[in-house]
Amino acid sequence: MNEFDFRWALMLMCLLIFGLSFAVLLWAAWRHHRLADMDRVNFHSSLAVEIAWTVAPCIIVLLLVWPTAKLFWSP
pLDDT number for residue 32: 75
Q: Is the pLDDT of residue 1 over 80?
A: no
Residue 16: pLDDT band with limits 50, 70, 90:
very high
Arithmetic mean of pLDDT, 1-8: 82
Domain tally, the chain = 1
Q: Is the pLDDT of residue 33 over 80?
A: no
The set of residues, in sequence order, having a beta carbon less than 8 Å from that of 17 and lying 6+ positions away, is 60
Rounded Cα–Cα distance for residues 68 and 42 (Å): 39
Kindly state the DSSP code that residue 38 receives in the 8-state scheme: T
Find the domain containing 50 and state its range. 3-73
Residue 40: pLDDT band with limits 50, 70, 90:
low
pLDDT number for residue 37: 60
Burial of 10 (0-12, 13-18, 19+ CB in 10 A): middle
